[in-house]
Structure 1
Amino acid sequence: MKSPARASQHLKGIRSSARVVAGENMNGHPPQNDEQHLRELEEVREALHLSEERNRAIVETAVNAIITINERGIIESVNSATVRMFGYAKEEMIGQNVSMLMPSPYREQHDGYLGNYLRTGERKIIGIGRETLAQRKDGTVFPMDLSVGEVKLPRGRIFAGIIRDITDRKELEQQILGISEEAQHRIGQDLHDDLCQQLAAIGCLAKVVLQRLESTRNGESANVAEIVKLITNANTRAREMSRGLVPVVLDSEGLMAALNELVAGTERIFRVSCRFRCDPPVHLYENKTATQLYRIAQEAVGNAIKHSHATRVEIGLALHHGMLQLTIRDNGIGIPDHSPRKGTGMGLYTMGHRAKMLGGQLHVGPDVYGGTVVQCEVPMPESHSQS
């Protein structure tokens, strides 16, 4: 048994703790006796316990994965949805770097991004959110929507990430995009096989008439010659349109060849300087990726000429650390808002959407030399790549 002195000291300790936790009573006065004080302390503890249980239940029953990490990127907690989504047990994730849930090259870049934010405060994901890729325990990679929040605590800070698997949405988007591409392919094929052939036939007949008129020195031969010229130009333009709708052929140099044609057509039609740079060559065997990159370049060049009034455009294609980098620069007046998220037109939105469909990102901003630079970076399809 405790001595009276020690018992009194222990009671004072309880009373002191109770004052700190429970504070004053409802009337704003100190508790009248120790029993009331202890009862209030117990009520506070019970309320805290219920609050913790409620918050834990909310996190555990959430449909989306919820992960908290510390400033070093180490996982501190995960909920049950994270276990179901990634296939790891909680014990396998807690205490490990969160990069274990990412595929290359994001896995190797994560700590650098986190360290850069802690040094500079520049937000790229935190408080913004983005679509990116994740990797399950069995190695399968899937698209996710990631939202990250920051919580500052007296002993540091933690980051809470909410992850939503968007595989179904991406598959639906790919189906819609595939239908669109099929429709464009059909229209392009019809232009080439039907309209272009009819224009060619009309042009041949007009040339025959022109030859007869010229042989008789008829004064109408000049007008017919102009008709022949217009028909020839219309046929050339229709063929260019058909190639634009079916831009990339199924071979390793399809994208480079298509971008070269885009450059040549841009110079011929719009009378601007347009160049394509790809050194060393990039051989791409995956037609879907090639087509989407071509569409981005096509849209960016069109915006540069029509909206920025550029007189010089440069397209660059490179492969760097497993990422395809497509860059379009111009010397135009720029655009008022360089963010594709803020309603600057369907063109920028469509380019950003195409990049996300390929698991990449699109950045639009002012060039250091003036004008605008559009840069798209997407993962190189590993099973279809060779450089």
Structure 2
Amino acid sequence: MNVHGWRVTAQQHPHVVDAGIAGLVALGCGLVLTGRTGATVEPATALDWATVVLSPIPLIWRRDAPVLVFCAVTALFWASNAAGAQSPAAFVVSLTALHAVARYRPARFAWPTAALAVLVGFDNRLEPARAWGAFAALAAVTVAVVLIGMNQRTRAAYLSALEDRARLAVAEERARIAREMHDVVAHHLAVMVALSDGAAATAPGAPQRAADVMGQVSATGRQALGEMRRLVGLLRGTSEPGESTRAPQPGFDDIDALVDRIRAAGVRVIVRREGTPGPWGPGAGLVVYRIVQEALTNTLKHAGPRATAEVTVRYLADGADVSVVDDGAGRAARQPAPDGRHGLAGMLERAAAYGGRVGAGPRDGPGWQVHATLTFDRAGTRA
């Protein structure tokens, strides 16, 4: 198992790790007690060994309740010291519990417990003649342990923030891909339905024309499949070899091809352009394209192939104005139901990303209108 595997296992079983730490502390203190017994006249007592074994046990819960664990360890030390035990476990276990407080709790908990640990160690000094030297050394070690624990806590919080940002970035990217998929599916399906209806209507009297229209349906379907394959590959984090997966996102120059597809479905579309696009990058072209696509798709779906639409794209010094107006094929438009406003929501989100706004609704007469104002900087991001 590699380092990452051990880390994942430790995160999944924290109490097992803490039990192992408590066992190592007990083992180390037992070795110290054994060495001290061999070097002194007085052998270690049963109470000394009981303190070595029992004192580290609260460390098993040091992550869940570090302050309570530290208090329990301190209480065990005072109780064993009052009973006459001379155990090396007191200092080591107290520092381990103190590290847990600094690592898993805010600083306001760490420093008071550090002061208590210093007092505990000072009371446990072995040579009263060197009390001040022992106190200074103990204080330095205690402060170092607290700083190490606080540093680990800060680093863990920083890494957690980075992971949260990464998750948010993934969620935003998935939302963007979902919007792209909605636009692709809604547009191509609307075009294919309109073309199929046209072919069915013309088949009895003009079979060759109907065959040509069905050829356009097939081409539209293949294009939709290619775009869907690319978007699903992005969603899965994979890509399949093929020209469609390497195709760039549509932009300003693809609006004419979009309009041609809508015209082929029967809608009369008039396009007007004013000015020229600035060096705004591909993101600017994509958002303009998608807004025009969504507006024309809604015209085709709700007004039908006999409608007339007018697309106006006005390029400004720092952005663009996009207007799409249709006549509703002579019928008055109605506001869509709340559950049928996904396309409008997508346009609003796209425009908001560029500091813009979108207005959409029925005209005073028959038909529907969409107007978007977008602001770009030189990179195509929000100005």
- TM-score interval (norm. to shorter): 0.3 to 0.5
Q: Which has the higher helix share?
A: 2
Greater share of residues in strand: 1
